[in-house]
Amino acid sequence: MPEDIDDKSDEELQRRIEAIAAAGASGTGLLGALFGGLAGTQQQSQESLLNSVLRALLVVVPTYVLAALGMRWQAGQPGGIPIDGPDVPAVVAVFVVLIFTLSHGVIPVFFYAIFRGAVVAVRSATGSRWNPISLFISGFIGLHMVLWYGFPLAGLGFVNGWYTPAWAAFGVITAKRGERQWAWLEHGSTAMSLMLFQFVMSDVSLFPWGLLVVVMQSLLLTFAEWKGKPLWVSRNAALD
């Protein structure tokens, strides 16, 4: 009888040891999956940020290069419209360009996205693409976007030649389906920044002083690309 008790005790102890080992193994696997997932998320975020930097530079750099070339080619030729901006210190001018680029060029990207989300919500709730409320919001936002960013592009055309607006049109036309509105936003915000620079700092040359604005606009547009573009692409896909 005591031997049976000892055998049963040994078996119970062995089962407990195996259970503890299995729990430890599963816990290790859970921790590994957790930290592995965090590492993967961090890597994806870094890759997304790098892609955003490259996309921003692809928009900003050609815009400023074409504007500078247009100013040089049009120098002394009739038909150009000179800009006579305020006479302010360079430090103040840079600060003004930075603030107004942020408020008038980048923040509207997220502001428009709020209304775009409202359109998605209304269409999802009603189950209709032709709901009057969603059509009104879409039409109003679309018209506002065209005018808000279209005027700076047109202004660049009259002042620097039509190379920069042509680059913007090329970017919008060649954009992927569901990303053309976003292409318009990024080119338009860049044009807004350039027009602000040329107005506020009209007494300085676009090169090399414009390089400072290129850096600022690239950083701001990188943030918009990184955090704003997913909102537009996902919501446009939901509206298709």
User: How much is the pLDDT for 44?
Assistant: 57
- DSSP letters along 27-48, please? HHHHHHHHHHHHHHHHHHHHHH
Predicted TM-score (pTM) of the model is 0.71
Q: Please answer whether residues 202 and 87 qualify as being in contact, where contact means their C-beta atoms are separated by less than 8 angstroms.
A: no
Q: Which amino acid is at 92?
A: V
User: How much is the pLDDT for 37?
Assistant: 47
Where in 27-79 does DSSP place strands (E)? Answer: none
Q: Please answer whether residues 194 and 97 qualify as being in contact, where contact means their C-beta atoms are separated by less than 8 angstroms.
A: no
User: How much is the pLDDT for 29?
Assistant: 46
User: How much is the pLDDT for 203?
Assistant: 62
Burial-class residue 57 by CB neighbours within 10 Å (0-12, 13-18, 19+).
middle
Q: Please answer whether residues 113 and 224 qualify as being in contact, where contact means their C-beta atoms are separated by less than 8 angstroms.
A: no
User: How much is the pLDDT for 3?
Assistant: 47
Between CA 205 and CA 71, with CA 107 as vertex, the angle to 5 degrees is 20
pLDDT in tens, the chain (240 residues): 444 444 555 566 566 555 544 544 444 444 444 344 444 555 556 667 788 888 888 998 898 888 888 877 765 454 455 556 566 676 777 788 788 888 888 888 888 888 888 888 888 888 877 888 888 988 998 899 999 999 999 988 888 888 999 999 999 999 888 888 889 988 998 888 888 877 777 666 666 666 777 788 888 888 888 888 887 776 665 565
CB burial readout 8-31, b (16+ within 10 A) else e = eeeeeeeeeeeeeeeeeeeeeeee
